[in-house]
Structure 1
């Protein structure tokens, strides 16, 4: 006779008693190195009880079948919506291998008591790797890599003439960890830097020793008029979808370089293509696209003044090894303790957002379990109180 569930336990809390496998599902075949690093890291953890870790990486078309008995889902580029979650009765955690959660229905996760989390970029090497990619793309745009390749093919020496980075004004859109790392690197090139974000930061948080112009609100597009290049580092939200449009480009310096290491949904594709065709936009260098994987024959991708890479900004040895270890550690913690171990978020208020155990819980308004009220910040006390 199976053990009786105790009152107040979250779904699947008795998995270490009732089940022989704790399943970690990578939803899709994109970013294969992430799955491999996680699998290797998970092998270093021992599951509690008679349970074993089961690691599965499947094609996107198979996710609906594989998620049925999954404990943890890593979405990658797969859309996680209400329909898919309805097929996952024991799912406890949706953890992105990185930062972007725009494809996950947070409300649906919260409604079902499923934790939704991401891995912040600043301590994993992801921010550093993505910032390095931004510099690479900026140099690719200024140095016109397409034309350089053509000159090599045509056996022409000493052409074309390109643009030097030193002394150029660069505006960074998005002032998070990645934006700051981009600024630190561009400072070494002798660039004049300024940054804009959705809302202004307190002045005490500005680092005037490092950044020339400070941080401006994003609606003050006048600050990009003097920029030789604009680098997009911001999150994609419902509000900024398609923000790189005629209006945005119209505020840019004619012939400027645009770099996108954020998300492809920021593009209004038709407007960007038109701006490249008529010369208002000098060059586009992007690691992301409006649809991924993008069609390489798309007129914008194939444009002579555009250069695209396959969403590899954060795909480096250091960042992937670190993030794989973090995902494995979170899974091991969850399997060992039905109350999430150190990732317990019982009773957190809707306004509270904080990082625990190297991952950041974003749906902090999960309903409190019986007998627990108020923010839970003392993890040891939390575990003691939550035991039934």
Structure 2
């Protein structure tokens, strides 16, 4: 990671924090501004950065400002289309009397941000009651979606959704979720909120439907997580993004937006109690700590301290040691183009997952997945390659 990238990341998160001081940007030259704009686009933070600079009456050099403005405009168009797509989905499920709980960006863009374009997203995550899942696929297929299905035994063992749905010929232009403004978003129907990665598992699902809050989105009925459950979901999800090496800067900003949007519903004793029930202390501590240190999210020190006490000292130190550039480095990986690269990445993924395991038994469960090579994505690619050349 270059010095300019490190500096750009730190400047971006500083701009998005409550203590943002515009005068710190006065010494930036044109090249630094352009590096900052390009980095913000790659991280999914360009719309937010443009919004914050405009609010503070800060005008970057023309090219950097144009890049940020065009990206914000593109996400305005894209999120309007996603909103229409979500409305169509909710209406279809309502006709079939299927309850839908809207998760993450699809909810937060509409409910927790000053404007929807400020929260980029790449898919629409929906939670369904387990007993309704068999009826979800047919509803999506009636709207023209086609599903892809994967066994929970395959690859890293993700279980919260085993199917994804997309309408053919209507996808976005690029695989990067923050660089494509066109196309419809993929639908991910969830039966649970369990995060899992090579045997490392945290499940916060129990009780979420009992505590769910009815909402209206696009004039259609839906549900959202209670604020306490949402805090657990966002923090655990963000921690798993870091563990998996996936971009996480937008997800960490979400945490502060929830705190600002529903302050009267924040119940920190309940959040900590639910965290303990899910045995998710390290993951929730990580998400809260990073949201506070990067963006100044209003998280009580007493709550952070209570969770940190229940983490292993080594893991707590590791979490505290990841600043914004460190998180960026952890969540950026070059494409895997060879089998040796994939094998090495698989070992590194398991090593990171094992770092977060709470016991020797859990660590063994993670490393045991490496012994089932026939279930890995790498093994599947090798089989396909052999068939293609056979």
TM-score normalised by the chain length of structure 1: 0.23
Q: Which has the higher helix share?
A: 2
Q: RCO (CA 8 Å, sep 6+): is it higher in 1 or 2?
A: 1
Larger radius of gyration: 1
TM-score normalised by the chain length of structure 2: 0.23
